[in-house]
Structure 1
Amino acid sequence: MTLTELLTHAQGLETQLRSSGANDRYELHQQLHRTLVKIEHQGGHVPARLKRLDLDLLDEEIEDSFDNMPV
């Protein structure tokens, strides 16, 4: 994929994530993260909003993992 195609794909995933339910968010986040890594590896610039979304979703996943820990 070209950089333009990768950016378009990442933006599409962003749109899907904003309207997705909890069941789909994990897989969509994994796809987004892989796409952002590919953009960087090809020397492209990842928009700040997509980096922020990636980090916010990672924070959500970490928080969710603690919800299942016994106290």
Structure 2
Amino acid sequence: MNVETLLSRAETLEAKIQKADDMDRYELHQQLHRTLVNIEQNGGRVPTRLRRLDLELLDQEIEDSFDNMPV
């Protein structure tokens, strides 16, 4: 895939993530993260807003994992 196609896919995933519930958001985040890695591997530059979204979702997943830990 070329970088333009990957960027378009990432933007589509961004829109889906905004509308998704928590269960779907996890899977969509995994797809987004893989797409961003592919953009970089193909010599492209990941837009800041997509990088920020990726990191925010990662932080949320980490925080959610602590919610399930026994005290």
Q: TM tier, shorter chain?
A: over 0.9
Query: Cα offset for 1:23?
Result: 1.0
Count of residue correspondences = 71
**Map of 1:68 onto structure 2:** 68
Aligned counterparts of 1:44 and 1:69: Cα–Cα separation in 2: 39
Aligned counterparts of 2:23 and 2:61: Cα–Cα separation in 1: 12
Deviations 1:11-51 (A, max 9, x none): 00000000100110000000000000000001100000000
Aligned counterparts of 2:66 and 2:24: Cα–Cα separation in 1: 19
**Map of 1:47 onto structure 2:** 47
* Partner SS, residue 57 of structure 1: helix
Give the root-mean-square deviation of aligned CA atoms: 0.3
**Map of 2:4 onto structure 1:** 4
Unpaired segments ≥5 residues, structure 1: none
Unpaired segments ≥5 residues, structure 2: none
Moved over 2 A (4+): none
Aligned counterparts of 1:4 and 1:38: Cα–Cα separation in 2: 11
TM-score, structure 2 as length reference: 0.99
Aligned counterparts of 1:6 and 1:67: Cα–Cα separation in 2: 34
